[in-house]
Amino acid sequence: MSVENLKSHLRTVPDFPKKGILFWDVTTLFKDADCLKELLDILTDLYKDKGITKVVGMESRGFVLGAALATRIGAGFILARKPGKLPAETIRESYAKEYGTDCIEIHTDALSPDDVVLIHDDLLATGGTAAATERLVRKFGVTDIRLNFIIELEELGGRSVFPAEDKVESIIKV
């Protein structure tokens, strides 16, 4: 299977979650066993020798492959969630959205400065949520951060919101 084949399995949904947005839906990749395996194989090949100690999965589609990837590369898995979803003490980072603000949280005992962290999510568009997650990870003193996305909408320039030292990769670019 190839990246082009993976791309052909994607579904786009017009006007979701609001009018004027073309939503790139990765659930069609997740439901196909061959696509799911191919995605996980690609991610494993990208990160198996990078010294990753923790994978941070962003709510909620980042949980699907993030946890499986962590298992394959021998890393722990950390949940980055919306406020009020994690049961213990959390640290939070706010970010602006086109129609207001939101927050992302991680447990206060999730990371340490010596961790090498991979932040994973399904989609990089403008980068707001991922940048907030990256800033949140930095609050723990982590300096070696990588980010990975299944899909990157290149024309929206999301990569530009991350510090130059972060390593940003995506599997499917549209």
**Mean pLDDT score of the chain, rounded to an integer?**
95
Residue 61 is a catalytic residue: yes
Dist CA 53 CA 114 (whole Å): 9
Banded pLDDT at 1 (limits 50, 70, 90) = low
The enclosing domain of 104 has a CATH number of: 3.40.50.2020
Interhelix angle for 62-73 vs 33-47, to 10°? 50
The whole-angstrom distance between residue 102's C-alpha and the CA centroid of its chain comes to: 17
170: β partners: 149
Q: Is residue 111 part of a domain?
A: yes
Q: Strand 54-58 and strand 76-80: pairing?
A: parallel
Q: Is residue 58 part of a domain?
A: yes
Average pLDDT for residues 142-150, to the nearest whole number? Answer: 98
Q: Is residue 117 part of a domain?
A: yes
Dist CA 114 CA 75 (whole Å): 13
In the prediction, which pLDDT does 96 show?
85
Percent residues over pLDDT 90 in the chain: 92
What is the per-residue pLDDT across 77-118, written as a single tens digit (0 to 9) for each?
999 999 999 999 999 999 987 677 899 999 999 999 999 999
In the prediction, which pLDDT does 18 show?
87
Active-site residue identified among 4, 89, 98, 155: 98
Q: Is residue 148 part of a domain?
A: yes
Dist CA 114 CA 46 (whole Å): 21
Dist CA 103 CA 138 (whole Å): 15
Q: Is residue 30 part of a domain?
A: no
Residue 98 is a catalytic residue: yes
Active-site residue identified among 11, 38, 59, 61: 61
- Is the confidence at residue 53, as pLDDT, over 90? yes
Dist CA 29 CA 35 (whole Å): 5
Global pTM value:
0.95
Q: Is residue 166 part of a domain?
A: yes
Q: Total structural domains in the chain?
A: 1
Q: Is residue 163 part of a domain?
A: yes
Residue 157 token pair: 């320039």
Domain that holds residue 105: 50-173
In the prediction, which pLDDT does 135 show?
97
Q: Is residue 39 part of a domain?
A: no
